[in-house]
Amino acid sequence: MITAHCSLDLLGSVAALCVCDLSPAQCDVNCCCDPDCSSVDFSVFSACSVPVVTGDSQFCSQKAVIYSLNFTANPPQRVFKLVEQISPSIFCIHITNYKPALSFINPEVPDENNFDTLMKTSDGFTLNAESDISFTTKLDIPTTAKYKYGVPLQTSDSFLRFPSSLTSSLCTDNNPAAFLVNQAVRCTRKINLEQCEEIEALSMAFYSSPEILRTPDSRTKVPITVQSVLIQSLNKTLTRREDTEVLQPALVNAGHFHLCMNVVLEVKYSLTYTDRGEVTKADLSFLLGTVSSVVVPLQQKFEIHFLQENTKPVPLSGNPGYVVGLPLAAGFQPHKTGALPCRLVAQKVKNLLWGQGFPDYVAPFGNSQAQDVLDWVPIHFITQSFNRKHSVLQDSCQLPGALVIEVKWTKYGSLLNPQAKIVNVTANLISSSFPEASSGNERTILISTAVTFVDVSAPAEAGFRAPPAINARLPFNFFFPFV
């Protein structure tokens, strides 16, 4: 048993804890662990309001302090006993290896000494948390991939091949077709006419059999549909086939000559896409011909065009010459001017300063939950206008010039381990008057954004109880008959 007559100086241990010590530098009645209490105060105590003080109950073994009063001594004394309690739970903490976890992280306030260091360590982040109560199913949905400009179009086995000439005029079949990249190329292919039936690049199936993935790494496949097949004879006449059946190259003997029929001469891809980066349709047109040993090596032409969904191409009246009965293509050139109305410029500058999706609330703490909207701090929006000397003119234009955001924060919690808490956020949009520029003249407007953090923490003050007041009333006729 340990007997003490002075204040406890065991900071960091359970003996330094005192939950009933509410008044600094003043003794609290019946608070046996209050270090400000003396033997004179103990003489008026009736009992200990908090007889047992323990540490964290999650530990398997924890220290506890038992307080009591010895009224037999003169003057009365405070007695406390330091014991060790064993937790009966099988799920308990045996030892704490990471000591900083016992307290919060102290906020580091930027100053002129550590500002550069904090700027280097901060890489920024985006918080886009949703409520884990109403949107639990939504959070499990992965982000859908999409094609971007220049990304190779994927197929079920590899990528969509678009033959082209690289270092020479010869055709290279391993060149991938890129999304939204319109191309038209010609290349030469050296072939052995007697083996034309075995060369894949001469067959329609080589270009029509692949299936394009709707999006990268998607399970949805978009088949390539043959829309038209033109047959070119040896004398260059064209015949359109009524069906779009896939034909195979065929070697034919014509006397002393060998001919290869149904050889692919031209390939035209027409791919339809959406604004979400998805391929929804793939059309294909062929020009087939008959090749003899006279035209070897063979020249082929490949084209690919992308058309956005729900848009119509410009109608043509011939290709290239006009066709009788079709309308004459005509148009007009709109009046070009670099001048913009003041209202339009003001709206564009305002949208540039606010950005996309400017928030309405700010989380008070770094771990605030999105569903606790009432705990979040609303942003106060202020609009200020400053008139210059020339603003009296009727042709002046009011334009936003700066966005100033002020964040007020305070130190919240225990004095030993305070935490940074945001208490107020103000967004101030400042506008100024500018004279409208005359036609043909340009004006440069400087816009700026600024963020300031203001520490509004109040200094800690000792709290004292109010002095007792006598609430007593004298009888109505107490001073009778003098009054």
Q: For the segment 328-387, what is each residue's pLDDT rounded down to a tens digit?
A: 888 777 666 666 778 888 888 999 999 888 999 999 998 888 888 889 999 999 998 877
* pLDDT of 390 over the 70 cut: no
What is the number of alpha carbons within 13 Å of residue 226 lying toward its C-beta?
22
pLDDT in tens, 361-374: 999 998 888 888 88
- Per-residue pLDDT band at 388 (split at 50, 70, 90): low
* pLDDT of 141 over the 80 cut: no
Better pLDDT: 316 or 2: 316
pLDDT in the model for residue 136: 37
pTM: 0.40
Among 46-55, 205-214, 253-262, name the one with the lowest average pLDDT: 253-262
Domain boundaries of the chain, sorted by first residue: 1-95, 164-308, 342-455
Peptide bond into 216 cis (omega under 30): no
pLDDT in the model for residue 140: 40
Q: Which of 394, 267, 305, 418 is nearest to 342 (CA)?
A: 394
Mean pLDDT, residues 122-135: 45
User: Residue 69 phi/psi, 5° resolution?
Assistant: -120, 135
* pLDDT of 240 over the 80 cut: yes
* pLDDT of 74 over the 90 cut: no
pLDDT in tens, 200-230: 888 999 999 999 999 998 888 999 999 999 9
Mean pLDDT, residues 268-294: 89
346 φψ region: left (φ > 0), alpha (ψ -120 to 50), beta (else) = alpha
Mean pLDDT, residues 236-254: 86
Beta bridge partners of 401: none
pLDDT in the model for residue 284: 92
pLDDT in the model for residue 468: 73
Mean pLDDT, residues 297-316: 84
pLDDT in the model for residue 164: 86
Token pair listed for 370: 């999105």
Token pair listed for 66: 């038992």
Better pLDDT: 258 or 363: 363
